[in-house]
Amino acid sequence: MAHHAMRATVIAVVLVAMLAVTGVDATLRYGFYKHSCPNVESIIYKAMKAAYEKDNTVAPGVLRLIFHDCFVRGCDASVLLAGNNTERAALNNQGLHGFEAIDAVKDAVEKECPGVVSCADILAFASRDTVILTKGVGWEVPAGRMDGRISLSTEPLQELPPSTFTSQQLISIFAGKGLTAKQMVDLSGSHTLGITHCLHLRDRIFTTIDPTIPKNLLRQLQRKCPSNTSLTPLQIDRYTGNKFDTQYFRNIVRGRGLMTSDQDLFRDPATKPFVEANLKRATFDKNFAEAMVAMTSIEVKIGHEGEIRKHCQFVN
């Protein structure tokens, strides 16, 4: 316990320094709710822990939600808005999961601090807590985001990178959001949790066979996925898929990444060193924390640019 606390403290010190010198939006700050809702982080963690204990798929679900939120209109909780024409209705958001957990967290926060904490900040805190709950190391989360009022089903397809993208295509997409190639690789480490589906391997194991896939892995995947429309869930990390660790990167180094967007990170000389660096647990913990702070600062809304929703699924 003391060891984990010391590591978390080191990460916190690094992140405070990073706030002033990297892409963290200057409108966000640590301890934002110190006076207005001092217990907010413990309330969120307790509610997330309860949700996780009922359904451990909540962890990768919520972690994926924050990625899909920040890459479309910035980190404004627009992905949480319900409706036939919102981001949730987009084709590439159909597998999103964890909305009920965030709703439960919001309810718990509203009971103690009504009208104070935004859904965007709740999602940022909750995504950090998913890492802690799956045996990863947490980090300090700067806050002050407001909730967006607009959510369009047409935008996720334009903004979110597909699983077929190469590392160079991913670098370009992430650069458009103000993130570096290194941060892109670090954030890809979130694939240590969660699942994918046969459709996302369509460029590797069906009509076109990726010659770099180990033959035994190819046979396993083709048995599980007789066609790219098969609904079989595939654990991205087939060894420690419920634990936040470095196994995802170890799989890639062994040539056992599932999707092109995973395996190409090691094939590309521009990103290979970042994969290798993240094989060390302490390095990955630090890198992921820094990258998450940067990503959750993308295009945040402040003041009259947004609102604090009463319910995360609906604008006020």
pLDDT at 25: 60
Quick one: 228 and 142 in the same domain?
no
The residues annotated as belonging to the active site are 68
| Domain that includes residue 102, residue range | 2-160+297-305
What stretches in the chain show pLDDT beneath 50? 1-10, 13-14, 16-23
Please report whether residue 279 resides in a domain.
Answer: yes
Instruction: Let me know whether 56 and 130 are in one domain.
Output: yes
- Do 39 and 15 fall into the same domain? yes
Q: Is 192 annotated as a binding residue?
A: yes
d(CA 221, CA 219): 5
Q: Which two tokens stand for residue 272?
A: 């290979």
Residues 151 and 192 in one domain: no
72 is in an annotated binding site: yes
Long-range contacts of 223-232, Cβ-Cβ distance < 8 Å, separation of 24 or more: 224/198, 225/198, 225/201, 227/198, 228/198, 228/199, 228/201, 228/202, 229/198, 229/199, 230/197, 230/198, 231/197, 231/198, 232/197, 232/198
CB 14 within 8 A of CB 140: no
Asked if residue 179 and residue 135 are part of one domain, the reply reads no
Look at residue 10 in the predicted model and tell me its pLDDT: 45
Q: What CATH number is attached to the domain comprising 16?
A: 1.10.520.10
CATH number at residue 247: 1.10.420.10
Is there a binding annotation on residue 245? Answer: yes
Residue 22, in any domain of the structure: yes
**Does 9 carry a binding-site annotation?**
no
148 and 176 fall within a common domain: no
Tell me, yes or no, whether 22 and 44 share the same domain: yes
The structural domain count of the chain equals 2
| 310 occurs within a structural domain | no
3-state secondary structure of 197: strand
Q: Is 50 helix (H, G, I), strand (E, B) or coil?
A: helix
| 161 labelled binding-site residue | yes
Contacts by residues 93-100 (CB-CB < 8 Å, ≥ 24 positions apart): 93/68, 93/156, 95/197, 96/61, 96/64, 96/65, 96/68, 97/57, 97/58, 97/60, 97/61, 97/64, 97/65, 98/58, 98/61, 98/62, 98/64, 98/65, 99/65, 99/312, 99/313, 100/51
- Position 2 scores a pLDDT of 43
The CA dihedral of 229, 95, 194, 171, to the nearest 10 degrees, is 90
**What are the E-state strand segments in the chain?**
195-197, 233-235
Query: How many C-beta atoms surround the C-beta of residue 308 within 10 A?
Result: 16
Residues 147, 10, single domain; the answer is yes
Q: Is residue 314 part of a domain?
A: no
> Is there a single domain that holds both residue 138 and residue 177?
no
Predicted local confidence at residue 19, as pLDDT: 47
pLDDT at 26 (0 to 100): 60
- Whole-angstrom distance, CA of residue 275 vs CA of residue 109: 38
Task: Kindly state whether residue 313 falls inside one of the protein's structural domains.
Answer: no
For residues 97 and 224, membership in a common domain is answered with no
Rounded to two decimals, the pTM is 0.91
Q: Specify the pairing of strand 195-197 against strand 233-235.
A: antiparallel
Q: What is the share, in percent, of the chain residues with pLDDT greater than 90? A: 87
Whether 301 and 199 map to the same domain: the answer is: no
26 burial via Cβ count (<10 Å: 0-12, 13-18, 19+): exposed
Q: Does the annotation flag 87 for ligand binding? A: yes
Distance between terminal CA atoms of the chain? 42
- 159: closest CA among 178, 173, 171? 173
Residue 315, in any domain of the structure: no
Give the model's pLDDT for residue 229.
Answer: 84
Is 311 a domain residue? no
Amino acid (1-letter code) at residue 75: C
One domain, residues 126 and 18: yes
304 is in an annotated binding site: no
